[in-house]
A and B are shown apart, each in its own frame.
Chain A
Amino acid sequence: MTVATRSVVTRAEVEDFLYHEAALLDEWKLKEWEALLTDDATYYVPPNDQLDSDHRNTLFLVADDRERIRQRIIRINDPNCHAEYPRSRTRRMISNVRILGVDGELVTVAANFVCYRYRRYERIREYVGAYRHILRRSGDSFRIKERRVLIDAHELGTLGSVSFIL
């Protein structure tokens, strides 16, 4: 096989995309982040005690369809979203990026993350876990079709809330 046909997706491409996504979220460029989503994109944060479950029969922390993501961004950008005003400062570290599968134009991707979050008068909150993205090939880059965030902590506990886009 030639290089061109052996792999249509490289890890470097996926990493570039995930780093770009992380930067937009850390910089609170939520409109630009939203432009990375497909029209049918979903965003899930399963409950800490049932990471491998279905939001239709299990109570999640977040289970947004595309419209709900749009509403979430409207909310978070509103100064009356008190949990995020003044905004948290976040910093994401992404590593261990793996391509789990390619199915036509869809690419399933796994990555580890640490997201540090700071708010005034508060100690650091460290969100540690894994991303499971389903990306759709879009020109030279990707769009996000599904974004699943698996938090390692057994309970949210001192992490408190998921009021920003994790």
Chain B
Amino acid sequence: MSARSYIVDDREKKTFLLDREVLVSDEVLRREMAQIFGRCWIYVGHASELKKPGDFRSRKVAGRPVIFCRDQGGQFHCLFNTCRHRGAIVCTEREGNRRRFQCIYHGWTYGNDGRLVGVPGDDAYAESFDKSSYGLRRPARFEDYRGFWFMCLDQNAPALVDYLAGAKDYIDLVIDQSPSGRMEIIAGVQEYDVAANWKLMVENSVDDYHLPSTHSTWLNFMANSGVKIEPPKEEGLVLPTRGKAVELGNGHFTTDNVNFRGRPVAKWIPLYGEAAKAEIDDIRKELVARLGAERAQRVADTNRNLVVFPNLVINDGSSVTVRTFYPEGAGKMHVTAWALGPVEEGDSARARRLDAFLTFYGPGGFATPDDVEALELVQQGLANWAEDRWSEMSRGMGKEGEQLNSDEHHLRIFWRRWNELMGAQA
């Protein structure tokens, strides 16, 4: 079905406009559920969250309560957390280790592989009642790329590795921080709502144009902590160092920036303290020995905010965050964020990573609350959408060649893909 286009993408006039209706409309949201979240690969969780057979986490993914778990043989599963009998949630705990999930209502019991293993009083059912066909339902597809597990509700979707396209290279860059190639989700989850449309979080996660105005207090904090924040030397830059926006295929994109803000792996800044210097040197040496000088530099001296379309963000910046979000109405989203680190990380390096995370990210960080404020102000302003209909997103279109992180090229990539999936004739 073709729908009208929500974007004006005029490459001759070098103008890109977005119809603000897509940020406020319940009807658009309803169609997104089918055409975006019903067809794309959606992040479920990370392998490191389930260390042993029987480990489980219950959570909502794309609005669906699921159990992300491992069976007795260690296989990973994503099960809909809904009893096949009358529909109740069967796993009420947030996390743990269980062989069985028992519904409290009538006692139907499922194995941690989803099979129905117990029905109280099952002699009351007819011969035709076949327990083996009453296992917990599961998404049509469930696949992982190097420990990042995704589900897809569309049986006919391409394989996850093909879907991820160029995003794989940027996930690899994150994983290369670990000597054994194993990263882990660190304990402690941040879950918060933002009173704004979910797509605004996609934009905000990669939009480096906003940094000086939205985050001046963070830049002050960095300067107060001895980190040199010099005004950009090159024409066109808004940040101290150069960064670009990169298209990765299938609606994925990333920023790719020369680091100025320090990195736990492995770029010392005064904020970390003198005592950390030696350890960060060692981390750097290990990187160089394992990856070679060039790749080590790539891993340690660049920071990258990656969007896996539609709603997974991996920020490999002051720390590594894994962040996903889902609409709870056109003007509201729920955000879940974790910290990611190498499994080998020592105690002091781990503490430094978490501290670095909190300098910028999260509901108590020195930057995220101001991002949230910006998005909520957008949503409030959009109450005028019918009278003031178009958002301006042409930044960078006027020039040839490389697009900067502070241009809006990568935002346009998102919106073009979104528009296409929504069935529009662009």
Contact = CB atoms under 8 A, between A and B. Distances in A.
A161 interface: yes
A156 B187 contact: no
B236 interface: no
Contacts of A157: 191-193, 334
A58 B220 contact: no
Contacts of A100: none
Interface string B353-397: 011011000111010111011100000100000000000000000
B353 to A, nearest CB: 9
Contacts of A162: 363-364, 369
Contacts of B363: 61, 156, 159-163
B200 to A, nearest CB: 15
Contact of A161 (B220, B351, B372): B372
Interface stretch (A28-36, A75-83, A103-111, A137-145): A75-83
A55 B372 CA distance: 24
A13 interface: no
A56 B369 CA distance: 22
Contacts of B218: 75
Nearest to B358: A63
A48 B224 CA distance: 30
Looking at chain B, what size class is its interface with the partner chain? 35 or more
B191 A78 contact: no
A59 B225 contact: no
B362 to A, nearest CB: 6
A155 interface: yes
B350 interface: yes
B369 A161 contact: yes
A160 B363 CA distance: 7
A45 interface: yes
Interface string B318-342: 0000000000000000100011000
A81 B347 CA distance: 32
A74 B221 contact: yes
A74 B225 CA distance: 12
A57 B195 CA distance: 31
B25 interface: no
Interface string A39-66: 0000001111110010111111111000
B373 A83 contact: yes
A156 B191 contact: yes
A153 to B, nearest CB: 9
A54 to B, nearest CB: 9
B188 interface: yes
B373 A60 contact: no
A63 B137 CA distance: 41
Contact of B358 (A46, A53, A62, A81): A62
Interface in A93-132: 121
Tell which of A55, A62, A82 has the most Cβ of chain B within 10 Å: A82
A78 B217 contact: yes
A59 B190 contact: yes
B370 A71 contact: no
A47 B358 CA distance: 12
Given A47-B188, A47-B190, A155-B191, A61 B347 contact: no
B358 A82 contact: no
Contacts of A10: none
Given A47-B189, A48-B191, A80-B216, A55 B354 contact: yes
A75 to B, nearest CB: 4
A87 interface: no
B229 interface: no
A46 B192 CA distance: 14
B354 A60 contact: yes
Given A49-B94, A72-B366, A155-B192, A82 B374 contact: yes
A56 B351 contact: yes
B194 interface: yes
9 contacts: A45-B364, A57-B351, A60-B354, A71-B366, A78-B217, A82-B373, A154-B94, A155-B189, A159-B363
Interface of A: 45-50, 53, 55-63, 71-72, 74-75, 78, 80-84, 121, 154-163
Q: Report the 6 A-B pairs with minimum CB-CB distance, sorted nearest first.
A: A59-B188, A83-B369, A62-B364, A155-B191, A163-B369, A47-B188
Given A53-B187, A80-B216, A156-B192, 11 more contacts: A48-B189, A50-B188, A57-B186, A57-B347, A58-B186, A59-B354, A59-B358, A60-B364, A75-B218, A75-B221, A121-B380
